[in-house]
Amino acid sequence: MTHDHTDAEIRPFRIDVPQEDLDDLRDRLGRTRWSSEIPGVGWNRGVPLDYLKEWVEHWRTSYDWREWEARLNELPQFTTTIDGQNVHFLHVRSPEPSAFPLILSHGWPGSVVEFLEVIGPLTDPRSHGGDPADAFHLVIPSLPGFGFSGPVRKPGWDSFRIAGAFAELMGRLGYERYGAQGGDFGAFISPNLGRADRDHVAGVHVNAATMGFIPFGDVDEATLSTFTDAEKVRLERLNRFLSEGNGYFQIQGSRPQTIGYGLTDSPVGQLAWIVEKFKEWTYPSDELPERALNRDRMLTNVMLYWLTATGASSAHLYYESMHSGNWPTPSAVPTGVAVFAEDVPIRRYAEQSNNIVRWSEFDRGGHFAAMEAPHLLVDDMRGFFRGLS
């Protein structure tokens, strides 16, 4: 891929949301046209009305975007153009000179906000009771189409193309040898980065992993009889997801533009679309998400979709994944898998296309591990990369 040098420029970036955007949001929240609901059905049909009203009132009257904007702006941020696409990223260098470069990839409905709790311990273990030998230089992009990297301007941005762009990004930053970590779509992108840039990627660590780490199609009785209890529970969770929990996937994978209008025009629509996932994918999934996550942090994550109008653009990643025809090829890159309590990977299937060298199972934490169980995730990443860097 050739670039003229102007194109490869890395530009400093600060978040500075116009006050009129915040006023518009508050105005929209105050004028919400509420849906009816069937009483007494709880969460079975989606986000309950009273619950969402409470969130919206908090968002409208108590949540302080400027506080979170300032917090995000404490982190060094940049943009660059890769393959014709704007890419926004945090670049937090460690004070330890021998730190190992690591790129972290979020998923949907996540953002760079997911990683706020792990940045300190990963870049500066000395100040967080860790071993300075475990330090990382962190690169944390907003996925193309998401947040300040959005929107995408052209079709074709699936996880393979994103991986290629991230390889280019690491090269531009001068990192010869590095690691890749990610959850959800980040667990598609990170292994693909290992495939796309195998001369430079030392290892790949994933959580909330699905495709490439789970059975494809039905599991026959003979195989099922050899499953551990934990594997049976994960398979049951996967099947429940495929029957009841993946409507959002089907819609975003087939008609992202249509759902995008509601997500872009209605902050309550965008909030409900995301908060449902925070509820269903945090641990324990039958409890409200506030048990696992701070409400204002969840709202900040929603804000990165709302303020950038990337509800539709982020949904297109599902469409690309369903229509690209790109399938993972076997990878020799050393791979570590962290399986949190709400995750579904099963080792024997992961080993079919990945070189698994570390497999950790946890009895707590969920899909948003970097926010829900940051210490567990950090420890597992340190243990994995310690042997590779």
Of residues 63, 178, 283, 318, which has the active-site annotation? 318
List of the chain residues with pLDDT < 50: 1-5
Q: What is the pLDDT of residues 263-276, one digit of tens each?
A: 999 999 999 999 99
Residue 387 confidence (pLDDT): 84
Catalytic residue among 124, 134, 184, 197: 184
Q: What is the pTM of this model?
A: 0.97
Q: Are 55 and 295 in contact (CB under 8 A)?
A: yes
Q: Identify whether 367 is a catalytic site residue.
A: yes
Q: Is 50 an active-site residue?
A: no
C-beta of residue 251 within 8 angstroms of C-beta of residue 259: yes
pLDDT at 388: 87
Q: Is there a catalytic annotation at residue 158?
A: no
- The pLDDT tens digits of the residues spanning 64-107 come to 999 999 999 999 999 999 999 999 999 999 999 999 999 999 99
pLDDT given at position 6:
60
pLDDT reported for residue 2: 46
Calpha distance 114→112 (Å, rounded): 5
Report pLDDT for 1. Answer: 45
CA atoms within 13 A on the CB side of 49: 10
- Please provide residue 109's backbone torsions phi and psi, each rounded to the nearest 5 degrees: -95, 60
Active site residue: 88, 137, 316, 367, which one?
Answer: 367
